[in-house]
Amino acid sequence: MDKDSSGDVVPDKPVKIGVQDGKLASVTVADSKGDAIPGTLDAATGTWTPSSPFGVGLNYTLRASATTPGHNGRPATQQVNFTVETPGKALELDSITPAKGAVVGVAMPISIVFSHPVADSAKASVEKQLKVTTSPAVTGSWHWFGDERVDWRPQQFWKSGTHVTVDANLNGVNDGNGRYGTHNYEHGFTIGSDVEAVSDTASHKLNVYQDGKLVRSLAADSGKAGFSTWGGTMAVIDKQPVVEMTSCSVGIQCDKNGPNYYDLKLPWDVHLTDSGTYVHYSTGDTDPGLDNNSHGCIHLSLDDAKWFYDFVKQGDPVTVKGEPKNAAPDNGYADYNLDWSQWVAGSALHS
């Protein structure tokens, strides 16, 4: 069987079996519980390939039968026990979002972030081990954002009440850069109420809907000239009761004497992009609904900001209309800013 330079069994390589003066007839592999491991035999080359990689640190038993001269045509059988050793470098996950057991909005993707880059050559084999099960069933796909993040979303928004399970069966999976998965991950969450918000920068309104019906229309201001609010659909990343907003932290201005410098602690902050877009109250916008004068955030009155903060949850979509450029799909969770054909093209299995 294949081993690496240290002599350990390689989790994702075929098992090679040599037969002298005979013909390989059958191969079976079982785990420590005696359960059969699926795989395919190529008798001509003497290789048996597991359908999925062997699990790191697990024990297996291989039984091989071959017909050889001197046994009256009866197969001779040999048994080998082996352990797949833990590699020096492990393929690990940095995070799976949303959190296990969470209740999220209808635009929330599944987002997996790896601790180290996955090689392009290994993305298909890694993606094949990422299983998404939903009830009811939906059409969806994975999409890679670079080498460390892969997201899964349905073709359309989720339906409320959908139960989602993610099985990242990564034990023994090679990332193409010398790392192997050492264990599997199971993750589940639920889709909550259908809450959607739509901001129209021209009309200075943020309309909030539940199950398709308008719940409340909020006076709102967006980005001023040169600081346009990102457009398109962004799922709520998270929310915080107070955030310190600084122009320097988002690359606008660090000179305290500059015209666009600010450093403010502001309440009721609903987070939309990694680049710093929020829906919130601002002391610098005393009368929301009159002028778009923010540095890219959506400003509400204090009462409306508190109401919106309490009403929305992670994964609820906020769609901004009337802006020149949409948020990049990986700027937070703006996954729906790609159409379905663009989304599927980002899968290593479909591209």
| pLDDT of amino acid 106 | 98
Mean pLDDT of 316-331: 96
**Which of residues 228 and 164 earns the better pLDDT score?**
164
| pLDDT of amino acid 43 | 80
Q: Is the Cα torsion angle 127, 132, 137, 142 positive or negative in sign?
A: negative
Q: Is the pLDDT of residue 110 over 90?
A: yes
At residue 4 the predicted structure's pLDDT band, cuts being 50, 70 and 90, is very low
Same structural domain, 51 and 117: no
Q: Is residue 42 part of a domain?
A: yes
CB atoms within 10 A of CB 117: 14
- Tokens 């889709």: give the residue: 191
Closest residue by Cα to residue 229 from 148, 288, 296, 184: 296
Q: Is residue 350 part of a domain?
A: no
For the ranges 61-75, 125-139, 162-176, 238-252, the lowest mean pLDDT is seen at 61-75
Mean pLDDT of 280-286: 80
Q: Phi/psi at 239 (nearest 5 deg)?
A: -150, 150
Same structural domain, 150 and 41: no
Q: Is the pLDDT of residue 38 over 50?
A: yes
At residue 129 the predicted structure's pLDDT band, cuts being 50, 70 and 90, is very high
Q: Is the pLDDT of residue 72 over 90?
A: no
Q: Phi/psi at 313 (nearest 5 deg)?
A: -140, 170
Same structural domain, 214 and 332: yes
pLDDT tens-digit profile of 230-241?
A: 999 999 999 999
| pLDDT of amino acid 269 | 96
The β-bridge partners of 111 are 97, 151
Same structural domain, 188 and 215: no
pLDDT tens-digit profile of 231-282?
A: 999 999 999 999 887 777 777 778 777 776 777 788 999 999 999 999 999 8
Q: Is the Cα torsion angle 265, 271, 274, 277 positive or negative in sign?
A: negative
Same structural domain, 100 and 175: yes
**Any idea what the CATH number is for the domain that residue 312 is in?**
2.40.440.10
Q: Is residue 151 part of a domain?
A: yes
**Any idea what the CATH number is for the domain that residue 166 is in?**
2.60.40.3710
- Distance (Å, rounded) from C-alpha 14 to C-alpha 187? 30
Exposure pattern of 241-271 as b/e (b: 16+ CB <10 Å)?
Answer: eebebbbeeeebbeeeeeeeebeeebbbbbb
| pLDDT of amino acid 290 | 67
Q: Name the domain boundary from 134, 169, 192.
A: 192
Asked if 148 and 105 count as a contact pair (C-beta separation under 8 A), the reply is: no
**Any idea what the CATH number is for the domain that residue 66 is in?**
2.60.40.3780
| pLDDT of amino acid 73 | 60
Highest mean pLDDT among 25-39, 137-151, 238-252: 137-151
**66-68-74 Cα angle (round to 5):** 75
Share of the chain above pLDDT 70, in %: 88
Q: Is residue 342 part of a domain?
A: no
Asked if 18 and 37 count as a contact pair (C-beta separation under 8 A), the reply is: no
Q: Is the pLDDT of residue 21 over 80?
A: no
Same structural domain, 206 and 188: no
Q: Is residue 348 part of a domain?
A: no
Same structural domain, 306 and 212: yes
The catalytic site residues sit at 280, 297
- Distance (Å, rounded) from C-alpha 315 to C-alpha 107? 5
Q: Is the pLDDT of residue 40 over 70?
A: yes
CB atoms within 10 A of CB 227: 15
Q: Name the domain boundary from 192, 207, 223.
A: 192
Highest mean pLDDT among 69-83, 136-150, 257-271: 136-150
Please tell me whether residue 348 adopts helix, strand or coil conformation. Answer: coil
pTM for the whole thing? 0.81
Q: Is residue 132 part of a domain?
A: yes
**Could you tell me which residues come within 8 angstroms of residue 136 by beta carbon, excluding any fewer than 6 positions away?**
159, 162
Same structural domain, 25 and 47: yes
The kind and range of the H/E element at 311 are: helix 302-311
Exposure pattern of 149-160 as b/e (b: 16+ CB <10 Å)?
Answer: bbbbbbeebbee
Same structural domain, 22 and 154: no
- Distance (Å, rounded) from C-alpha 120 to C-alpha 145? 12
> 24 lies in which domain range?
15-83
Same structural domain, 50 and 137: no
In what side-by-side order are the strands of the sheet with 263-271?
238-246, 263-271, 278-281, 298-300
Q: Is the pLDDT of residue 1 over 60?
A: no
| pLDDT of amino acid 289 | 67
Structural domain count of the chain: 3
Same structural domain, 116 and 171: yes
Q: Name the domain boundary from 56, 83, 110.
A: 83
Same structural domain, 201 and 311: yes
Please tell me whether residue 216 adopts helix, strand or coil conformation. Answer: strand
Q: Where are the alpha helices (DSSP H) in 85-139?
A: 123-128
For the ranges 71-75, 148-152, 186-190, 332-336, the lowest mean pLDDT is seen at 71-75
**Which of residues 3 and 48 earns the better pLDDT score?**
48
Q: Is residue 215 part of a domain?
A: yes
At residue 6 the predicted structure's pLDDT band, cuts being 50, 70 and 90, is very low
Q: Is residue 272 part of a domain?
A: yes
- Distance (Å, rounded) from C-alpha 308 to C-alpha 297? 14
In what side-by-side order are the strands of the sheet with 163-168?
103-104, 185-191, 163-168, 130-135
pLDDT tens-digit profile of 145-204?
A: 999 999 999 999 999 999 999 999 999 899 999 899 988 999 999 999 999 999 998 889
At residue 42 the predicted structure's pLDDT band, cuts being 50, 70 and 90, is confident
